[in-house]
Structure 1
Amino acid sequence: MTLQSILGNFALILFVLMIVTGIVWVLDVFHLSKGRRAAADRALADYDARTAKLTADGIQVDTNTTARRAQIEADLLRQPTWVEYSGSFFPVIALVFVLRSFLFEPFKIPSSSMVPTLLVGDLILVNKFTYGIRLPIVNQKIIQINDPQRGDVMVFKYPMDMSQDYIKRVVGVPGDKITYENKRLTVNGKPVTYGALDDYLDDESLVYKKQFTEGLTGVEHRILNDERAGTLNLSDVRDFPHKDACTYSYEGFTCVVPAGNYFMMGDNRDNSADSRYWGFVPDKNIVGKAVAVWMNLSNPRRIGGIQ
């Protein structure tokens, strides 16, 4: 694992911080605090002995011995700064780690490959448990719950670089035969239904694109097609595992999705590097299901569920 991948793995950073602060917290609770308590007790006993001796010798002592004793005790029981900060941060870090690892994780949309469903700058929530409980960092599934379904918007580790998180729509599940010709999908021999919508103005290119609804096995969502682009750019197709399950031509392709894998496509069909070009997504790469946009700083109206 490279330094860049480590720095890019926020879960790993959180885990290390949780372990370090947790060790300090446990050490303080079961050892350091007892040492401070013993030191305070010794100091108070010495103070009481000195006060009693001075009083017996007729020497006037501090009249406010209670306040002085409280000050001595407070000074000796005070945690060192490094212990105090560790104890304060540990429960917060642990809570964030558990929430991000097993419940919901926030992501920011960095590209336009999922326009018009998701826009650049959308801050989304990803459900981490709907597809099963996975061990954090290693992403090993330990409890099976649900399988991804066609039409789901899913976050996953990019097969060509596991340090990167990608988001696309599930188009094919294991065993599906996916055909894409003339910018239209066919799943298991059944053409997907499409409905024309008003043209969509792409904010990045300032070009109008054809917009359609796509009915993918009951999940209706919007997609974009760029009339200036061809169906498929064969020069961009890379070698990938199970590539022999696909046949390519200038008009499109046909792929049979292998067991334990998924076929992913962006809704911005002519501006998306996806399974058409770099292959299938193994189950082990799944991060979770995108369920909601919780904020977009430039467009607060974007808040809502993801279809």
Structure 2
Amino acid sequence: MAEKHGDTPRFTDNVLEWALVIVNSIAAVLIATTLFFSRVSVDGESMENTLFDGDKLVISWFLYQPENGDIVICDSKALGKLIVKRVIAVGGQEVTVDYKSGTVSVDGEVLDEPYLKYHALDDMGVYDMTYYDPEREVFEYDVPEGEVFLMGDNRDHSSDSRVFGAVSENDIIGKAVYRFHSDEAKTGFVS
């Protein structure tokens, strides 16, 4: 009987140790996600068919530097709200949008964009603002250093850098890394 009584404190110690490990692990995950990640909802159809209105995203912002092809969340001064767009070009690069052929080039290289919802870039009635001129067949833009050129994947329904120009890297909130809720698509990593 003395053995069983002697084993009880050891069992209790093990349970307490495991409970402490679990609590510390949960706390570490919560702290890490709070410090290095945020959540945001997609508002509108400008990123269809990649992202949909109402999708919930996890974004990474810690030490983030924008790169071509990234899906980012931007604090748009021109639109007065957070927007979700794709980085087409970064500072020092030249963007060419050919409305007749429906192509976008960066530094002379036509982008392969299988994620686009529509390829028609010639009938965009919403683009009557600063940078889009419907009389032009080709739109060229040199992206200033420290800025990025953004476009929505649903080109026919996106107010983006074709409308308001490049945006400062300082206005980029972070990169979309994971869709954790969607009524239209599967959850998972986004690209």
For 1:104, the equivalent position in structure 2 comes to 37
Matched, 1:225 2:158: no
1:165 Cα offset (Å):
0.8
2:95 is aligned, of 178, 183, 187, to 178
1:1-307 equivalent positions in 2, closer than 5 A: 99-100=33-34, 102-131=35-64, 147-162=65-80, 164-181=81-98, 182=100, 183-193=102-112, 214=113, 221-225=114-118, 227=120, 230=122, 233=125, 236-238=128-130, 249-296=135-182, 298-299=183-184, 302-307=186-191
Summarize the Cα distance change of 1:116–1:285 in structure 2 as closer, same or farther, 3 Å threshold. same
1:146-194 CA-to-partner distances (Å, cap 9, x unmatched) read x2110000001002155x111100001001110000320111112223x
Structure 1 stretches of 4+ moved >3 Å: 95-100, 231-235, 246-249
1:185 counterpart letter in structure 2: V
Summarize the Cα distance change of 1:233–1:257 in structure 2 as closer, same or farther, 3 Å threshold. farther
Summarize the Cα distance change of 1:277–1:161 in structure 2 as closer, same or farther, 3 Å threshold. closer
Distance 2:134 2:169 in 1: 24
**SS of residue in 1 equivalent to 2:162:** helix
Distance 1:123 1:223 in 2: 20
Distance 1:270 1:247 in 2: 15
1:252 Cα offset (Å):
3.1
Distance 1:97 1:150 in 2: 30
1:214-250 CA-to-partner distances (Å, cap 9, x unmatched) read 1xxxxxx5102265x6255586222xxxx7xx98853
Distance 1:179 1:258 in 2: 14
Summarize the Cα distance change of 1:281–1:222 in structure 2 as closer, same or farther, 3 Å threshold. same
TM-score by length of 1: 0.47
Summarize the Cα distance change of 1:97–1:277 in structure 2 as closer, same or farther, 3 Å threshold. farther
1:184 counterpart letter in structure 2: T
1:108 Cα offset (Å):
1.1
Summarize the Cα distance change of 1:223–1:234 in structure 2 as closer, same or farther, 3 Å threshold. closer
Aligned length: 161
Distance 2:151 2:164 in 1: 11
**SS of residue in 2 equivalent to 1:171:** strand
1:118 counterpart letter in structure 2: L
For 1:210, the equivalent position in structure 2 comes to none
**SS of residue in 1 equivalent to 2:139:** strand
1:304 counterpart letter in structure 2: G
Distance 2:96 2:57 in 1: 30
What stretches of structure 2 of length at least 5 have no aligned partner?
A: 1-28
2:56 counterpart letter in structure 1: L
1:33-90 CA-to-partner distances (Å, cap 9, x unmatched) read xxxxxxxxxxxxxxxxxxxxxxxxxxxxxxxxxxxxxxxxxxxxxxxxxxxxxxxxxx
Distance 1:190 1:126 in 2: 29
Distance 2:126 2:41 in 1: 30
- Percent identical across equivalent pairs? 29
Distance 1:290 1:271 in 2: 20
CA RMSD of aligned residues (A): 2.7
